[in-house]
Chains A and B, each alone.
Chain A
Amino acid sequence: MPLNHFVLFFLAVALLGFYILGSEVVERSPRWGGLGRSRFSYALALAVYATTWTLFGSVGFAASEGYDFLAIYFGVTLSCIAIPFLWAPVAELVDRYRLGSIADLFAFRYQSRTLGAAVSIFMVAGLLPYIALQLRAVADGAAILVGEEPSETLGSVYAILLSSFAVALGVRYADGRAHRPGLIATLAFESIFKLVALLVVGTAVLITVFGGIRGLDTYLQERPELVESMTSPVMGDSWISLVFVTFCAAFLLPRQFFVAFVQRPGPRSLETARWALPLYLFAINLPVPILYWAGRDLAAPGIRPDVYVLVAVQSSPALQTFAFLGAVSAASAMILVSSIALSGMVANYLVPRFGPSPESLLTRWAVFRRSTIVGVVVAGLLIHFTLPRTRSLVDLGLASFVAVTHLLPGLLGALFWRRATRAGVLAGLVVGATSWAVLTASPLFGVEVDVSRLFALFGFSDPTARGPAIWLSLTAHGFVFMGVSLLTRRSPEERNAAEACREPRVTRLLQVPDSAEALQERLASYVGKDIAIQEIYEAASAAEVYWPPRDRPELLRLITELEGRLSERIGPLAARTYVQGGRPVRANALAERLRAFRALDSLEADASQQTSPAHAARRYLSRLMSELPVGVCTVDDHEDVVVWNAQLQRISGLNEDDICGNPVQDIPSPWWPLFNELAQQPTGSVIEREYDKGDQKIQLRAQTATIPGEVEEGRVFVVEDITALRELERHVAHKDRLSSIGTLASGVAHEVGNPLTGILMVAKNLATDPGADDAAERLGIIVDEAQRIHRIVQSLLTFSRRDEAPVELRTISVTGVVRTAAELAKLETAGCKIDLHLAVDAPAMASPDGLTQVLVNLLNNARQACPSGSTVTVSTRVENGAIHIDVDDEGPGIPKELSDRVFEPFFTTKSDGQGTGLGLSVSRQIVERFGGALTYEPRRSGGSRFTITLQAHEN
Chain B
Amino acid sequence: MNREQERALLLFAVAIVLIATPVRAVWLQTWWSPFAFWISMIAVVALLHRTDHAA
Contacts and interface: CB of A to CB of B under 8 A. Distances in A.
Contacts of A286: 35
B8 A77 contact: no
B19 A84 contact: no
A278 B42 contact: yes
B54 interface: no
B51 interface: no
Nearest to A70: B34
A234 B49 contact: no
Contact of A81 (B22, B29, B45, B53): B45
Contact of A282 (B8, B12, B35): B35
B22 A78 contact: no
Contacts of A85: 1, 5, 8-9, 12
Given A78-B19, A271-B53, A274-B49, A67 B38 contact: no
A243 B20 contact: yes
Contact of B24 (A220, A235, A279): A235
B24 A82 contact: no
Interface in B1-55: 1, 4-5, 7-9, 11-12, 15-16, 19-20, 22, 24-25, 28-31, 34-35, 38-39, 41-42, 45-46, 49, 53
Given A85-B9, A243-B19, A286-B35, A274 B30 contact: no
A84 B24 contact: no
A233 B25 CA distance: 11
Contacts of A289: 31
A82 B28 contact: no
Contacts of A239: 20, 24
B17 to A, nearest CB: 11
Interface residues of A, number: 33
A83 B22 CA distance: 25
Contacts of B35: 282, 285-286
B19 A74 contact: yes
B47 to A, nearest CB: 9
B45 A274 contact: yes
A229 to B, nearest CB: 11
A691 interface: no
A628 interface: no
Interface in A916-931: none
Contacts of B1: 85
Nearest to A79: B12
Given A231-B31, A278-B42, A78 B12 contact: yes
B15 A80 contact: no
A240 B17 CA distance: 11
B50 to A, nearest CB: 9
A596 interface: no
Contacts of B38: 70, 73-74, 77, 278, 282
Interface in A216-257: 220, 226-227, 230-231, 234-235, 239-240, 243-244
A227 B31 contact: yes
A278 B5 contact: no
A84 B45 contact: no
Interface in A29-82: 67, 70, 73-74, 77-78, 80-82
Interface centre among A73, A85, A234, A279 (most CB of B within 10 A): A85
Contacts of B30: 227
Nearest to B31: A227
B44 to A, nearest CB: 9
Contacts of A906: none
A570 B45 CA distance: 38
B28 A235 contact: yes
Contact of B46 (A230, A243, A275): A275
Q: Per DSSP, are chain B's interface residues mostly helix, strand or loop, or mixed?
A: helix
B28 A67 contact: yes
A239 B28 CA distance: 13
Interface centre among B22, B28, B42, B53 (most CB of A within 10 A): B42
A244 B20 CA distance: 9
A85 B46 CA distance: 16
Contact of B42 (A82, A271, A275): A275
Contacts of B49: 271, 274-275
B38 to A, nearest CB: 5
B41 A82 contact: no
Nearest to A272: B49
Contact of A84 (B8, B16, B31, B41): B8
B11 A81 contact: yes
Nearest to B2: A84
Contacts of B5: 84-85, 88
A85 B9 CA distance: 7
B55 to A, nearest CB: 13
Contacts of A234: 24, 28, 34
Given A81-B12, A84-B5, A220 B20 contact: no
Given A77-B38, A85-B8, A231 B28 contact: yes
Contact of B16 (A78, A230, A271): A78
A230 to B, nearest CB: 6
Given A78-B19, A81-B11, A220-B31, A278 B4 contact: no
Contacts of A231: 28-29, 31, 34
Nearest to A74: B19
Given A81-B12, A235-B25, A67 B45 contact: no
Residue in B9, B16, B25, B45 with the greatest tally of chain A CB atoms within 10 Å? B45
Contacts of B31: 220, 226-227, 230-231, 289
A725 B28 CA distance: 81
Contacts of A84: 4-5, 7-8
Contacts of B53: 271
A622 B28 CA distance: 59
A285 B8 CA distance: 25
Nearest to A232: B28
A82 B46 contact: no
B22 A235 contact: yes
A227 B31 CA distance: 6
A240 B12 contact: no
B41 A77 contact: yes
A67 B34 contact: yes
Nearest to A276: B46
A78 B28 contact: no
Contacts of B22: 235
Contacts of B9: 85
A421 B45 CA distance: 35
Contact of A80 (B20, B29, B34, B45): B45
Contacts of B4: 84
A227 B33 CA distance: 11
A81 B15 CA distance: 9
A753 B18 CA distance: 106
B8 A82 contact: yes
Interface in A266-297: 271, 274-275, 278-279, 282, 285-286, 289
A282 B42 contact: yes
A412 to B, nearest CB: 15
Nearest to B29: A231
Contact of A77 (B24, B28, B42): B42
A231 to B, nearest CB: 4
Nearest to B4: A84
Nearest to B43: A275
Contacts of B16: 78
A278 B45 contact: yes
A231 B26 CA distance: 11
Nearest to A290: B31
A80 B53 CA distance: 17
A238 to B, nearest CB: 12
21 contacts: A67-B28, A74-B19, A78-B15, A78-B19, A81-B8, A81-B11, A81-B12, A81-B15, A84-B4, A84-B8, A88-B5, A234-B24, A239-B20, A275-B42, A275-B49, A278-B41, A278-B42, A278-B45, A282-B35, A282-B39, A289-B31
Given A81-B12, A82-B8, 6 more contacts: A85-B5, A231-B34, A239-B24, A271-B53, A274-B45, A274-B49
Q: Which 6 A-B pairs have the closest CB atoms?
A: A275-B46, A84-B8, A85-B5, A231-B28, A84-B5, A227-B31
